[in-house]
């Protein structure tokens, strides 16, 4: 549609493209000589399969080979994106608009999958038949809740709910973590990184400064840093034991604003002392063995001296200084990181509650402990010499081992927090008279559009780099211990086939551990409780070939195989005071062997009464 602007006083007059209508006439006004035209076009539909070809003609000059093109060998979205970003042709990874275009499309797909997942997991108490389910699916009556939809969106509050629960599970099984370690890269000083990015982009990057190199190719930089983080985890877990013999660890990547990622780690050490169990001298000796704040001798350790003075020396700025009101009502500024640290000749140890309360009130003595330090070392952050020797950048290390696990829980909230967003400022503007499906999409898109995401985070997301992880021996399995459990539905095609055979069939659920495999376990495993069954056995579709494996056939092409290492089991934990029936039901469900959940009452009127009469027997099983 073409709009003509003839009035020179119009607010749109200066914003329109000028098209000459006549040959130049000296004595006429500009409006008479030129006609002002504005072209208003409809926005492109983001569901168009050729959208990438239309938006990026510089990348796709021939208009072919886009993401959704039909191919003889079908590629998933992840495979296509990974192939493009890792291609030797740099035009894909160097185009940052293209990166964010791919990221937005990926987020939209994750939202759709979140909605589909909730449609596919329902409460069996609803008594869905194949015909009724298909009708509700078609009419859109099966809608999702926000937690399930957003759980697939990286760095959202809902996304971090599962890692937070898993970390609590690790603490319950392993006890308090020993170390909390953070490493941040000084990427502008990583000559190997600069050389690598320049080499793969030569000669275009030869004359760029280090910062320009890092900003120009976020994909290659993110891949390099990801490998560096893997290397530092391997070093910490190595036989050299720079922090002690590592039993388990949890790690998480964090992005501040739109900057480079840094790494947080919770580490469990074999034989580490625990405050409240070991005496204070043992704790102090252990900490001082691995942590120091000393300024190294420049002549003996020049590299370590440079890194301590460059990366561990704290300088106050607007970010770290916070206003603090004294008892005298005087307002002063205090450093949120507790610098300068107290000068002391001896190691000082405090209790966890005092430490946490002090941090919140910005007290100078807010740490669990203070290392011996001189005046010159008052602003040097604690570090591990071995770790700083192999890491060019800032590091922070704190001891967490105390019996109450208060510090571990405090740090858990920190390392599983979501990235900052401004969505709450605008959610109230949404029209809540819209249908539920539209509201969910609007809220989701508003949340996406109001969080700052840098190019390096976009690259990590598209490359499939995980935001968190654990050691290889820690595998956590979720058990639904509710009285009424949600069930996963079979695929739409499977349900349609069931409907053709019997429209009233309720056989629309996928087999599950609690509802199918455990009740129908082999007779040899009859005395095994659900807790042990879930920890040690996997259902596999192929017969184990190793004669050392313990396994049982449980159906056509289905086998029950015993694991070499057990799962950590995580489940919802009820409050016995508020929900006694639910609490005792899940204890009976987990620790009393059963074939049918109706057996759990053992002839009594309630689960509470049943548990009280079975308690001694259950303790022996446990």
User: What gap in Å lies between CA 595 and CA 301, rounded to an integer?
Assistant: 67
Report the distance separating Cα 479 and Cα 529, nearest Å: 13
In a domain, 600, yes or no: yes
CA distance 299 to 525: 67
247, with CB counted inside 10 A (0-12, 13-18, 19+), is middle
- The backbone region for 464, taken as left when phi is positive above 0, alpha when psi lies in -120 to 50, beta otherwise, is left
Chain segment 342-357, per-residue pLDDT in tens = 899 999 988 777 666 6
Q: Does residue 586 contact residue 580 with C-beta atoms inside 8 Å? A: no
pLDDT, the chain, mean: 83
For the residues 175-187, what does the mean pLDDT come to? 94
More confident position, 47 or 577: 577
Complete DSSP assignment for 451-493:
S---HHHHHHHHHT--SEEE-TT--EEEE---SS--EEBPPHH
Lowest mean pLDDT among 67-71, 108-112, 181-185, 538-542: 108-112
Count of domains forming the chain: 2
387 part of a folded domain:
no
Residue 605 forms part of a structural domain: yes
pLDDT tens digits along 270-293: 999 999 899 999 999 999 999 999
pLDDT reported for residue 339: 85
In a domain? residue 527: yes
Domain assignment present for 173: no
The whole-number pLDDT of residue 427 equals 46
pLDDT attached to residue 601: 92
Q: Is residue 78 part of a domain?
A: no
Give the residue with greater pLDDT, 506 vs 473.
473
Q: Where are the beta strands (DSSP E) in 506-563?
A: 537-540, 551-555, 558-562
In a domain, 510, yes or no: yes
Whether pTM exceeds 0.85: no
Residue-number span of the structural domain to which 589 is assigned = 505-621
DSSP 213-225: HHHH-HHHHHHHH
Give pLDDT, residue 502: 82
pLDDT of 160 reads: 87
Which of 28-32, 142-146, 341-345, 400-404 is least confident?
142-146
Which pLDDT score is estimated for 140?
47
Is residue 379 assigned to a domain? no
* Rounded average pLDDT over 254-272: 90
């Amino acid at each position: 549609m073409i709009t003509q602007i003839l009035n020179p006083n119009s607010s749109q007059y200066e914003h329109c493209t000028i098209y000459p209508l006549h040959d130049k006439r000296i004595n006429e006004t500009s409006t008479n000589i030129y006609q002002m035209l504005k072209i208003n076009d409809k926005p492109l539909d983001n569901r168009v399969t050729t959208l990438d070809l239309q938006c990026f003609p510089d990348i796709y000059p021939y208009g072919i080979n886009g993401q959704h093109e039909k191919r003889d060998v079908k590629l998933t979205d992840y495979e296509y994106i990974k192939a493009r970003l890792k291609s030797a042709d740099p035009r894909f990874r160097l185009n940052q608009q293209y990166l964010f275009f791919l990221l937005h499309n990926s987020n939209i797909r994750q939202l759709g999958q979140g909605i589909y997942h909730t449609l596919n997991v329902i409460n069996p108490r609803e008594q869905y038949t194949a015909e009724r389910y298909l009708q509700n699916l078609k009419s859109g009556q099966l809608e999702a809740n926000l937690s399930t939809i957003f759980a697939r969106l990286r760095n959202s509050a809902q996304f971090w709910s599962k890692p937070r629960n898993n970390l609590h599970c690790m603490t319950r099984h392993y006890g308090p973590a020993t170390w909390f370690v953070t490493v941040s890269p000084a990427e502008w000083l990583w000559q190997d990184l600069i050389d690598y990015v320049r080499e793969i982009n030569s000669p275009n990057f030869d004359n760029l400064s280090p910062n320009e190199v890092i900003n120009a190719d976020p994909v290659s930089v993110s891949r390099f840093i990801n490998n560096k983080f893997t290397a530092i985890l391997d070093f910490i877990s190595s036989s050299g034991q720079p922090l002690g013999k590592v039993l388990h660890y949890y790690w998480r990547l964090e992005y501040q604003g739109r900057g480079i990622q840094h790494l947080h780690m919770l580490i469990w050490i074999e034989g580490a002392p625990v405050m409240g169990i070991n005496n204070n001298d043992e704790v102090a000796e252990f900490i001082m063995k691995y942590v120091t704040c000393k300024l190294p001798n420049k002549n003996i350790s020049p590299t370590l001296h440079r890194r301590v003075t460059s990366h561990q020396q704290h300088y106050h700025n607007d970010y770290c200084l916070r206003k603090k009101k004294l008892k005298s009502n005087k307002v002063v500024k205090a450093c949120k990181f507790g610098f300068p640290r107290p000068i002391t000749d001896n190691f000082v140890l405090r209790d966890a509650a005092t430490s946490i309360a002090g941090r919140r009130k910005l007290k100078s003595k807010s740490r669990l402990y203070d290392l011996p330090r001189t005046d010159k070392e008052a602003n040097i952050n604690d570090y591990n010499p071995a770790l700083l020797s192999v890491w060019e950048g800032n590091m922070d290390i704190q001891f967490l081992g105390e019996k109450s696990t208060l510090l571990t829980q405090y740090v858990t909230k920190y390392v599983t927090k979501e990235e900052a967003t401004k969505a709450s400022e605008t959610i109230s503007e949404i029209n809540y008279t819209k249908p539920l499906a539209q509201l969910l999409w609007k809220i989701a898109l508003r949340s996406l559009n109001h969080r700052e995401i840098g190019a390096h985070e976009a690259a990590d997301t598209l490359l499939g780099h995980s935001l968190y992880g654990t050691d290889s021996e820690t595998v956590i399995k979720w058990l639904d211990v509710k009285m009424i459990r949600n069930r996963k539905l079979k695929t739409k095609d499977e349900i349609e086939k069931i409907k053709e055979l019997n429209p009233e069939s309720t056989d629309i659920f996928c087999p599950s551990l609690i509802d199918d495999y455990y009740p129908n376990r082999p007779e040899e495993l009859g005395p095994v409780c659900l807790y042990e069954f879930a920890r040690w056995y996997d259902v596999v579709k192929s017969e184990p070939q190793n004669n050392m494996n313990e396994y049982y056939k449980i159906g056509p092409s289905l086998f029950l195989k015993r694991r070499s290492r057990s799962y950590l089991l995580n489940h919802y934990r009820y409050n016995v005071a508020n929900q006694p029936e639910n609490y005792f039901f899940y204890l009976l469900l987990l620790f009393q062997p059963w074939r049918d959940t109706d057996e759990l009452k053992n002839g009594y009127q309630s689960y509470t009464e049943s548990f009280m009469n079975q308690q001694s027997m259950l303790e022996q099983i446990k």
